Amino acid sequence: MTVSLITAIDDTAANSAVREAVSSVATLPMVRQKLAWGLLDGPALLTGEAVHGSPRLIALVERLRAGGVSGVVMAAMPVLRAADLPAVVLSQLLDLHLSTATPWTAAAGSPAAD
């Protein structure tokens, strides 16, 4: 079912390449079924709205694009991966800490130190 949804978008896509991408992202039949249901509910997920889909769907779109399926489009906005999250959060916390004076970092004699 997923293969037919994808090949309907790009009729030049090889069925074997699409099957390989789907099976690499979703190894279990139930997971493939959930992926197909998600695509049935939102076919726009394959044409630029993948960032609103599940991480598995985003991975599928990336695999399809890498495999040369041209009808499948990844949105222009970057996808934030879970591995990037700690660095982003730490960076934001550090920026926040450096940009705001707190009672324990305020200079002596300032209103915050009283």
Average pLDDT over residues 63-88: 72
What is the CB-side half-sphere exposure of residue 17 using CA atoms within 13 A?
A: 18
As for how many domains the chain has, the answer is: 2
The answer to whether position 72 is within a domain reads: no
Residue 98 lies in a domain: yes
Residue 1 CA, chain-centre distance (Å), reads 22
Decide if 34 contacts 25 (C-beta within 8 A): no
Q: 61 and 86: one domain?
A: no
For residue 97, the enclosing domain spans 82-113
The number of beta carbons lying within 10 Å of the beta carbon of residue 41 is 10
Q: Is the pLDDT of residue 113 over 50?
A: no
Residue 4 has pLDDT above 70, yes or no: yes
**Residue 53: per-residue pLDDT:** 81
**pLDDT confidence band for 28 (50 / 70 / 90):** very high
Q: Above 50 in pLDDT, residue 51?
A: yes
In a domain, 25, yes or no: yes
Q: Are 60 and 31 in the same domain? A: yes
CB atoms within 10 A of CB 82: 7
